[in-house]
Amino acid sequence: MRAWRPNERLVVARGFSGRFVTALEPAVIAILFAAFTFGLDNVRRHAAADLNGYQYFVALFGLGAAVFTLYAIALVLAPLRALLETRKPIFIVDGYLRTRGRDDWSDRDTSGYIAVMLDDGRVACEWPVHGDTELVYAVHPAYMEFSEFGGIHKVDGQGTGVLSDEMPPFGVGINHPLWRKRS
């Protein structure tokens, strides 16, 4: 076992910060919709004229505020969990890398499973694999670094792409072809 290195933790933190910045837009919209909800409800209650038709707008803006709040929260949940997982150790195993196909309990979009096995054959951790090609049963000796949440980070010293070596601030430009060549 080893702790996360600062540069590894920085990659995850930058990914989280990018998703957090993305979540600011729906959060601001949720705040605006909540303000509209309370403002329209206040006008409806205290106006001299009969404005009971406003109750539909109050409900609509209230629903919009709730939906945008949930959307903003959903955007940051997985990256926040990944950031919190950097406080847990990275495991180092000199054992076996096992792949196997789908089973009866697999999700529909799963093409199989990949596992880290200890030298005595016990499974240390296993993750579903998503892709177009069905995995076949195979066992290969390997020296691996992995985390329970993130999967296998390195196999025989080579990165698997689960954790890139670096990430631009806020993740801006990570989908650009030039950035992908660098990783």
Structure confidence by residue, pLDDT tens digits, 83-109 = 999 999 989 999 999 988 888 777 778
pLDDT at 72: 97
151 is written with which tokens?
């999967």
**Each residue of 6-29: pLDDT tens digit?**
888 888 888 899 899 999 999 999
Which has more confidence, 111 or 36?
36
Q: Stretch 124-128: mean pLDDT, rounded?
A: 89
> Is there a contact between 163 and 151 (Cβ–Cβ < 8 Å)?
no
Q: Could you tell me which residues come within 8 angstroms of residue 24 by beta carbon, excluding any fewer than 6 positions away?
A: 72
Based on the fold, state whether residues 102 and 50 are members of the same structural domain. Answer: no
Same domain, 11 and 78: yes
Rounded CA Rg of the chain: 24
Domain count, the chain: 2
Residue 182 lies in a domain: no
Percentage of residues of the chain with pLDDT beyond 70: 85
Q: Where is the domain boundary, 34, 69, 85? A: 85
29 in the same domain as 45:
yes
Q: What sign does the CA torsion over 109, 112, 113, 114 have? A: negative
pLDDT of 181 reads 53
DSSP of 14-66: HHHHHHHHHHHHHHHHHHHHHHHHHHHHHHHHH-SS--TTHHHHHHHHHHHHH
Residues 18 and 41 in one domain: yes
State which of 5-14, 52-61, 139-148, 159-168 shows the largest mean pLDDT: 139-148
Q: Do residue 99 and residue 154 come from a single domain?
A: yes
Tell me how far apart the terminal alpha carbons of the chain are, to the nearest angstrom.
25
Q: What is the C-alpha to C-alpha distance for residues 33 and 136, in angstroms, rounded to an integer?
A: 51
pLDDT exceeding 90 applies to what percent of the chain? 38
Is residue 62 domain-shared with residue 101, that is, in the same domain? no
Predicted local confidence at residue 77, as pLDDT:
95
Indicate whether this model's pTM tops 0.85: no
Residues 113, 48 share a domain = no
For residue 112, the model assigns a pLDDT of 86
Question: Higher model confidence: residue 78 or residue 179?
Answer: 78
Asked which of 50, 85, 120 is the last residue of a domain, the reply is: 85
Domain boundary among 47, 65, 85: 85
Which regions of 75-164 does DSSP assign to beta strands (E)?
A: 91-100, 110-117, 123-130, 138-147, 151-155, 158-159
Query: Does residue 51 surpass a pLDDT of 70?
Result: no
| Residues 31 and 55 occupy one common structural domain | yes
Q: Tell me which residue range forms the domain holding 33.
A: 6-85
